[in-house]
A and B are shown apart, each in its own frame.
Chain A
Amino acid sequence: MDKLDLLKKDWNKGHQNFSKDDLYKMIHKKSSSIVKFLFYISVGELILWLGINSLQWFYSEEYKNKIETTFGDDSLMFVATIVSYAIIILFILLLYRSYQKISVTSNIKTLMENILNTRKIIKYYVSYNLIMLFVGLIYGFYVAIHNDPVLSEMFTHYNDQQTLKFLFVLGLVIAISLVCVWLFYKLIYGLLIQKLNKNYKELKAIE
């Protein structure tokens, strides 16, 4: 007999059984599904970046005044704040929608795609924040160098080339730190969805 037929014959035999009691206990245990982890990570991301964006509300009056004298008219800051909150809200909506689409009863391919899509939204959110942080830091330093009395005093002794060099080194240090943060994210998600990525490739290869 073909071995596959032999296996088919054996296939439906029961081997192991859990009692009702065991099953009751099981369904109340905590899940270790990757969707749960993705969810925790995305909520963590939202809170983290929302926190960073909201730091300004907790500055002391003195510090706020200092910022105002350094950055002058704060209408630009105001617009930037509104835009950044709007973008955060947009991401929350996108994430909410993509989590709703994840259903364990969809077919294998759809489930994989929906999870990968959710992960992509988190990735865009993190990228957006890292880019904004980079631009913000560079801009902040640039304005501070011009307007902060202590810093601008220091820079009056620098010629243009030295200033440029300073800004370049500063930009490089910030960029390297951001790349490190980015790699850290890659590692987290890489580990989390390694199996999913591999299986998705296998499934796509069939087509």
Chain B
Amino acid sequence: MDKHLEEQFVEQLETNQNLIHKVCRLYTHDVDAHNDLFQEITIQLWKSYKNFRGDSKFSTWMYRVALNTAITLYRKSKRSIQTQEFDTVQFKIQASEYDDTEEQQLKEMYIAIRALNDIEKALVFLYLEDKSYKEISDTMGITEVNARVKMNRVKTKLRTILNP
């Protein structure tokens, strides 16, 4: 594929990569798996980039591909062997920014989210991204009413996990 397109893609990818990291954080438990999924998502993005005509926002297109890859297409590659647990790595960086209780609460939050199934994680992701129910229903392929009902259930489920 032509060099210019590749440059343009990598540039946009670099600016927007946090979105992919966020998906990876929800769907993986350790650094190796995170990077492996990140890589698969970028490959899928690149493969479909030539068909991306900008009718939707770059980020909208991106989270769709990212979620589809995480939920459906991705198979763990052999090299993702469990090594460092995320919690020790991710949260060290933030330790100075938060007091202990906030840090602890966030940690619990991520652990609770990882206990959800893949579809529920997608709903949490879209909620955290502040997507409207219309967008959630378009992304998931379910009706708005069902999206709303399921979202409330997931939130309740999370609260129950956190405050048993």
Contact = CB atoms under 8 A, between A and B. Distances in A.
Interface string A8-37: 101111111111100110110111111101
Contacts, number: 158
A10 B106 contact: yes
Given A7-B106, A32-B74, A107-B138, A20 B119 contact: no
Contact of B109 (A7, A16, A34): A7
B74 A111 contact: no
Nearest to B77: A32
Contacts of B117: 198-199, 202
Contacts of B106: 6-7, 10
A108 B141 contact: yes
Nearest to A19: B14
B95 interface: no
B17 A23 contact: yes
A11 B146 contact: no
Nearest to B80: A32
A196 interface: yes
Interface in B112-164: 117-120, 122, 128-129, 138-143, 146-147, 149-150, 155, 158-159, 162
Contact of A27 (B34, B43, B120): B43
Interface residues of B, number: 66
Nearest to A113: B141
Nearest to A11: B128
Nearest to A196: B72
Secondary structure at the A interface, as helix, strand, loop or mixed, is helix
A13 B34 CA distance: 17
Given A17-B17, A27-B10, A27-B46, A32 B109 contact: no
Interface of B: 6, 9-11, 13-14, 17-18, 21-22, 25, 34, 38-40, 42-48, 51-52, 61, 64-65, 67-69, 71-75, 77, 90, 93-94, 102, 105-106, 108-110, 117-120, 122, 128-129, 138-143, 146-147, 149-150, 155, 158-159, 162
Interface of A: 3-4, 6-8, 10-20, 23-24, 26-27, 29-35, 37, 103-112, 115, 192, 195-196, 198-199, 202-203, 206-207
